[in-house]
Amino acid sequence: MFNQSRRVLQALLILIFMSIAIVPTQTQNLDDYAPILVDNVTQLELVKRIGRGSISNIHYSPDGRMLAVSSRTGVWLYDATTLADVGFIENGIRAAWNPDSTQVAVFANIDNTVRVFDVPSGQTVETYRLSTSFVRALQFNRQGIYAISIEESDQLIHVWDVQSESIQRTITDIENHDSDVVFSSIAVNFSPDSTFFAVSLGRVVWVWNVNTGELVHSNIVNYYVRSVVFSPDSSEILAYTYDDRFNIWALGSKDRIHQSYSESNRGSNVAYSLNGAFIATVDEDKRFINIYDAVTLTVQYSLSVESAGNVVWSPDGQHITFTDRSSIYVWEVISQQLVQSSNKHSSNIRTIDWSADGRKILTGSWRGDVNIIDIETNATRTIEAHRDTVASVIWSADDTQFASASNDSIVRIWDAETGDMLMEHDTHDDEVIAVAWSPDNTLFASASTDETVQLRVSPTRHDPTFIMEHQKGTVSSLEFTADSTKLVGGAYDGNTYVWDIRTGGLVQRLMGPEESTYSILDIDVSMDSRYIAVGHTSGAVRLWDASTGTLLYSLDEPTQTFIDTVSFSINNQLLASSSRKYGVRLWDISTGQLLFSIEDTTDVTRVAFGPNGRFLAIADIGGSIELWAIPTS
């Protein structure tokens, strides 16, 4: 009776919390922000994050009632039955439930904190700070909160007592296996009974006692390890390798209990059912969830799915929940039927473009989707546009249409209101990686790895009007000048080409010192057509005078990382540049001075000033978009 009453109370508390769940801050009215200028650029702040981010991991609460889903933006809590929102913990990348399912510990590498989120109250009740950003695993048991960190720089494994914010012990055993240790292939897991933790680096699998630091198991396998997990009773360790083998040992034994290879399974994620009878894996081709008998390692049955990345069993063994980058699916095991799904998360963003009215953002994803996002309401419409990565998207000047270009070698023109496809261009022989629409709405250009740039006098014209002249090589980025008389392209051969659109002839070729040895990843033309900015693999941003072809500045990124994107502000005062590793830089066009850096944002795929001059959009590979602005109040 007591247990039943406690379950009812927990359910009521969860329902109450669902009404007060934390959600990301919303923007003010779009006009409540100041124009971004040289004089105030240092006042920029993050005002909104759009999208829940692509899913990286998923955990059931011990009572099976909730799911903790880790994404680029943080950890989202969902009702496990309905997939309704329960809560959100911003910036977290790893999560662990306490045994009572009432609290979640979340690690955030942005500030190296572990926060304890209380589900019934919807509040963060404790915050601990660690002196590492390399936490690989987290556990929340009745004795406390523990973390495992692994840093390649010192080649040490640290066990953290999170609540004391200190290293409990340091593991140095890996020094004995230098030739087999590979830090690019890391797998870490705690045992279900909280006694052990397992680490794999490359081909070596170790198991240590959490409390004593004693090494209780060590083995070398034939190939790099994808995933390492314990059996539910913590007596066995399973290492699944990249050559598609299950390797299972009793702890402390050098002899494998099982080793199995299956050509039908190329799994990346492995999960035991709670009773230890079955093992689930995700097929490498992302088309099946394979269920194995844990003793014989034979496939009992397979669930046919569209795609998948992570798989977990419900604690009662009745359901399998799996995710792809943007969706959550719940399958009933016995009936092999999909019983619930949700697509609240966003797939990885490859490219973005602002609408001319500054109220919508168009995104293209690695899996072929195009999304139209209203930045005020977050309303999103998804179009399954291509069967491969969408490399470039562009709005028409009047926002009535948009175009998408893909690695499937196709360019498609879409009606922005209905989402209907209006035209398909299949005139390229290889991946199409850039498209551009002229400001006067009459011209359309596309560039491909087939080393051609095609220009059409109308986007709905099937055959190109001109094949633009340039040296042999791939043009990676295209922009029209503001008067629609010229087309500018940056190429992998290091050249920036300027063409006359009336003839298709080359009128200018810009190349800085030693640029033939580097590739151009992105270009932009200022709104007044006076400047051309070029982002290089050399780590430099080149700023050119468009009329004279004079190199004005070489804005060198001190880290020498690739410059992936560049964008001019609408007022022609600022230039933004981005790199995957080191975030975003903002430069004064008139002096070449670095004015402001946004370094907390990494894995950036695109940076773009909004057309109203009040927003800077930063898209990342994790599927979210940050809006930076200067509030007026």
* Cβ neighbours of residue 120 closer than 8 Å, sequence gap 6 or more: 10, 13, 14, 16, 17, 102
Smallest CA-to-CA distance from 139 within 87, 66, 196 is with 196
pLDDT in tens, 345-361: 877 899 999 999 999 99
| Average pLDDT of adjacent 10-residue blocks, the chain of 633 residues | 38 36 50 93 93 89 96 92 93 93 94 95 95 94 94 85 95 67 83 94 91 90 90 93 86 72 57 90 72 87 75 92 86 88 85 96 92 91 93 97 97 96 96 97 96 91 86 91 96 93 91 75 96 91 94 76 93 94 91 91 88 94 91 86
Q: 542 and 536 in contact (C-beta within 8 Å)?
A: yes
Q: For residue 454, which phi and psi values (nearest 5 degrees)?
A: -110, 135
In 3D, which of 83, 134, 87 has the Cα closest to residue 108? 134
Taking only the tens place, the pLDDT of each residue in 486-540 is 999 999 999 999 999 988 899 999 987 665 678 999 999 999 999 999 998 888 8
CATH number of 349-620: 2.130.10.10
Residue 4, helix vs strand vs coil: helix
Closest CA to 145 of 196, 105, 200: 105
Which pTM value belongs to this model? Answer: 0.79
CB 284 within 8 A of CB 242: no
Report the alpha-carbon distance of residue 494 to residue 525 in Å, rounded: 17
Angle value at C-alpha 259, between 255 and 263, nearest 5 degrees: 165
Strands 204-209 and 215-220: antiparallel
Q: The tokens of 152 are what?
A: 């390649």
Percent of the chain, pLDDT > 70?
89
Please say whether the dihedral angle defined by the alpha carbons of residues 497, 501, 505 and 508, taken in this order, is positive or negative. negative
Query: What is the chain's percent helix, strand, coil content, to nearest 5?
Result: 5, 50, 45
The answer to whether residues 299 and 263 touch, using CB atoms and an 8 Å cutoff, is no
Alpha carbon distances (Å) from 490 to 418, 483, 543, 570: 33, 19, 13, 21
